[in-house]
Chains A and B, each alone.
Chain A
């Protein structure tokens, strides 16, 4: 009589260990394949290996402001039609491993969301005042005055209305903390005899603004071109010339490089092949009408850079 087989439970007699291990291995393999298909780590490795931008060292100081008589061809690029990206987002980040190149204008980026402007302030003359009225900018403070010049800011002229009281520009800026400041001055100064004085005043103003608002990104905007023909037809001032405006833009870029503040090349967004503003953009050749103010906003919205990218050490003082 054969010895009875030891009892090993109801399933033990039908399932073998190799079979179980094979099933487990198959499931794990399928899960691994699924993870690879979803996250695709090989595409992220390719982006990280793209060539870095050029060195971000600023232009050495000592370059004297050039006189306005010599036409500067640097700004004669055709105008660029700017349209915002369909996917608005917070301020995008440039490559954090590369120092920001202050000699170059702020590059194009994804369109910033409306909330980006919650802590913005726009400082300038009547052109900026028009921008605040007609661009549709969703938020942001306006510290503007018709006829404002960099010299007014330098000399603390009390001409900026806030809450029914007139402040100097710097005192008005000191009333609250801002995340970004857009400064656009220079058109009213085109009639002044000394480009060097403009340059020196702008340097001082930039330094003063950064003392008042050390945590803000201060954007210098190049000057939007003029339409000299419309100016002449409407009896505008005869010192309003694009040649001189372009010379001022070179000075603005120089200040940006020397003081390490980002420069928005708004000029290039509006200059046609001859370096002029389109005739239909303005009733007087100077102040932009509503639709062009909206284009101005589009440019600002799609050319942003955050503080940490500009100043990774956390201190923007020179």
Chain B
């Protein structure tokens, strides 16, 4: 009887430790898109005041539908762009899966390539910024920065964990 009780107590302790454990396998911590993008905007990365873009327009701008995504795949979105004076921008997209994030990453990479083609002859002075564009997948989130100050942007990219959602 005593042995049974001890076994039950040990089982209860094990269950309790499991409940107090860290992330479950497969759990992803997403970024807070607005906070992460704002950090880049406020972090000395850009040479001019950027304009915030709404979600629907950003979806069209980055060709996400052509890439195979739907608006339901995009859980959160924060995009800041130049009104046309420069090629500077920051985009933080939170997707619903790792696969969606990879698809969005490819779309944003294609967007940067398209910008390079446009600015090569139009505003050659912007080419160094596009060549220094930083694009990364963080969990199910994708972050793109075309900065005027590359080091400031890289520092923020290395500390994206500061901008987790929730």
Chain A residues with a Cβ under 8 A of chain B: 126-127, 129-130, 132-134, 145-147, 161, 163-164, 188, 234-235, 282-284, 286-290, 293
Contacts and interface: CB of A to CB of B under 8 A. Distances in A.
Q: Main SS of the interface on chain B? A: mixed
24 contacts: A126-B84, A127-B84, A130-B84, A133-B57, A134-B53, A134-B83, A146-B118, A147-B118, A147-B121, A163-B66, A164-B66, A282-B83, A283-B48, A283-B49, A283-B83, A283-B85, A284-B48, A284-B86, A286-B84, A286-B85, A287-B83, A289-B51, A290-B51, A290-B83
Given A133-B61, A188-B122, 9 more contacts: A134-B51, A146-B118, A146-B123, A161-B114, A283-B82, A286-B84, A289-B83, A290-B83, A293-B83
Nearest to B50: A283
B93 interface: no
Nearest to A165: B66
Given A126-B122, A147-B121, A164 B85 contact: no
Closest 4 CB pairs of A and B: A287-B84, A284-B85, A147-B122, A146-B118
A224 B138 CA distance: 42
Interface in B82-130: 82-86, 114, 118-119, 121-123, 125
Contacts, number: 58
B38 to A, nearest CB: 17
B122 A287 contact: no
Contact of B119 (A132, A146, A163, A293): A146
Contacts of A282: 83, 85
